[in-house]
Structure 1
Amino acid sequence: MSEWLTEFGMFVAQLVTLVVIVGLAVAVILRARGETGERTRLRLDELNGTRRNRRRRMQLAASQPGARKRLAKAFRRDDKEHDRRGRKGKGEGEAYSTVWVLDFHGDIKASGTGQLAEEVSAVLAVAGEGDEVVIRLESAGGLVHGYGLAAAELDRLRHAGLSTTICVDKVAASGGYLMACAADQLRAAPFAVIGSIGVIAQLPNLHRLLKRHDIDMEMLTAGRYKRTLTVFGENTEEGREKFREDLETTHELFKRHVAERRPALDIESVATGEIWYGSDALGRGLVDALGTSEAYLVERMQQARVISLKLEHKQKLGDRLGMAVSRSVEHGVERGLEMLDAGRWQKR
């Protein structure tokens, strides 16, 4: 018996060693491929086919068991007819225009601008006459230069003559609205947050705290307005006034940008820094139509191919493992909080 256990232990040890060696080899290969290969890949999803397949699954599930086989045969005949028309050319009632769908979810730095720029370049390289670009935009704004660049990238579509529709389901405020104005048609959900055409800047000043503790702050500049307001130094009224002038200049640029792209808008009445929900924004001319992005894309699927385009950055093996661990920990914490919350209601 002991001899058998010894042999079994040796077998397990060899098996574990083999698994470790194979795992290390795979990791090295993946790392080498990740470092030498292309770091990004273009993902394209035809939303027409996805929606059609989901509708068919729902129809099959809702049909009587005896009718499912006939329904499946009808679906196959439709697919064959569709393929035949595609090989022969444009069929009656069919259109070959394409709706390209891009997504932009902005943070305070508009850090997704680089990816957006590459996606815009990809669309411009292949888009034909009659094509449309739909951008699903969500952003509460952020840094002026970041969102100014993002808006300029969207302007490339307009300059190329491509019809552009921007859909806002949740929020396009401040820098987000700066981007949204690049659209030929701007659509918003009824309760989407729109507007905030204004500029804000704030910073703390610790000068009195430092002075109370006998700490001096030296700041040397060359140029009268190299620094206006500071965090540690003593601010002057001249510096404050110059800072306000800079904010007003930025606000005027913002207003001019919006007014040039939406000439029918009464810019002075809406450039107050206020926000409006979609329904009120429509009445003020800030948007052109109400509706969700999903509803608009479903509508466009009746006349065109709708293709979602996304540039994905490949991650190294270590990054993927780190994200997997992070997601697992996050899920565990969320699950624990849910159980604690539920426990409050179960107590008697």
Structure 2
Amino acid sequence: MKQALTDLRRKLRRRPLAAVVRLSGPIGPSGRLGRALSDQSVAPAIEAAFAARPDAVALAINSPGGAAAQSAMIAARIRRLADRHEVPVLAFCEDVAASGGYWIACAADEIYADAASIVGSIGVIWAGFGLHELIARHGVERRVHAAGERKAMLDMFRPEDPEDVARLRRMQDAIHAAFIEHVRARRGARLTERARFDGSVWVGAEAIGTGLIDGLGHLEPVLRARLGDSVRFVEFGARKGLAARLMGAGAGAALGSDLAQGVAEGAEARALWAQWGI
């Protein structure tokens, strides 16, 4: 009955409605990476987009990736709402939809990209530094007191422990398997033998042949072709503050919190973008 009323409202509406949710930035827990995408931060926009009873929801994705759990939570929220409201979801990859960004894109029923978009990177990575020799040369003594044999796993100021590396690899393999399962479940028979799950990336023009995307296209023309030229676009999502727009996400965050933390978050976010040449 509820769905019948929703369908009736759509039919009575003079112009079709496309709800646009912009998901731009690295993905991580709230408070990390400046204005990172997290399930908590994007939930209001996603919920509002589906509550508007649109004819379609469009995800404009521009993300280099980040935290796996947050990526999975955002994707799961999109699917729950899409199934509940019976609304088609289309993802549009902009500069980058890599790693966690592609995880979110797979929540859509269809994925489109620009010919020059970067998509894929279905893998898991951890990176750090080994500084134990550096501090030893400068006479610095590292003091760590922990309850729990593995509590100080992969401490950058101590020599690397093979058992720590093996444990990290087991964690990565489990996350990687979940990522692959999500892609296979969402893309299904559209995936071809050219699709790889080893962290490879493709530009949009190549990605079509792998089945990772459905075609080349931009948000507005694709939705006009789908819903008609009279379609009305309504965007959902919080706007960045003036400081964040002028100075970058990390610097903007620093104005309202600890300066050092803000600078570190901004540097981490820029590093995620930099690996894709952006």
User: TM-score, normalized by length of structure 1?
Assistant: 0.58
* Unmatched 5+ stretches in structure 2: 1-10, 29-34, 249-278
Aligned residue number for residue 286 of structure 1: 212
Distance in 2 (CA, whole Å) between partners of 1:325 and 1:108 is: 21
In our comparison, the structure showing a higher alpha carbon Rg is 1
Cα deviation code 1:97-133 (max 9, x no counterpart) = 42212211122537244443111211332316xx211
8 Å Cα contact 1:228-1:242 kept in structure 2: no
d(CA) in 1 for partners of 2:247 and 2:127?
A: 34
What residue in structure 2 maps to residue 253 of structure 1? Answer: 178
1:340 match: none
> 1:99 maps to what in 2?
18
Q: What amino acid maps onto 1:263 in structure 2?
A: G
Q: Work out which of the residue numbers 82, 100, 111 in structure 2 matches 1:158.
A: 82
Gaps in structure 1 of 5+ consecutive residues: 1-88, 328-348
Match of 2:188 among 240, 263, 287: 263
1:238 match: secondary structure: helix
Q: Deviations over 1:278-319 (max 9, x none)?
A: 12111111011211223213324526632222344696xxxx
Aligned residue for 1:184? 109
Change in CA separation of 1:250 and 1:97 when aligned onto 2, cut-off 3 Å: same
Give the residue type in structure 2 aligned to 1:190: A
| C-alpha separation in 1, matches of 2:83 and 2:138 | 58
SS in 1 for 2:188: coil
**2: distance between equivalents of 1:103 and 1:178?**
15
Whichever residue aligns with residue 226 of structure 1, its letter is K
Partner of 2:233: 307
Cα separation, 2, equivalents of 1:231 and 1:217: 10
Contact 1:95 1:303 in 2 (8 A): no
Distance 1:136 1:148 in 2: 17
Quick one: percent identity of the two aligned structures?
A: 30
What letter matches 1:309 in structure 2? E
Q: Distance in 1 between matches of 2:211 and 2:133?
A: 47
In 2, distance between residues paired with 1:289 and 1:325?
34
Pairing partner for 1:119 from 39, 45, 55: 45
Cα distance change of structure 1 residues 323 and 182 upon mapping to structure 2, 3 Å threshold: closer
Matches within 5 A, 1:1-348: 97-109=16-28, 111-113=36-38, 114-127=40-53, 131-160=55-84, 161-264=86-189, 265=191, 269-300=195-226, 302=228, 305-312=231-238
Equivalent pair of 2:194/2:210 in contact (CA under 8 Å): no
Q: CA deviation at 1:149?
A: 2.9
AA aligned to 1:289 is G
One-letter amino acid matched to 2:56:
E
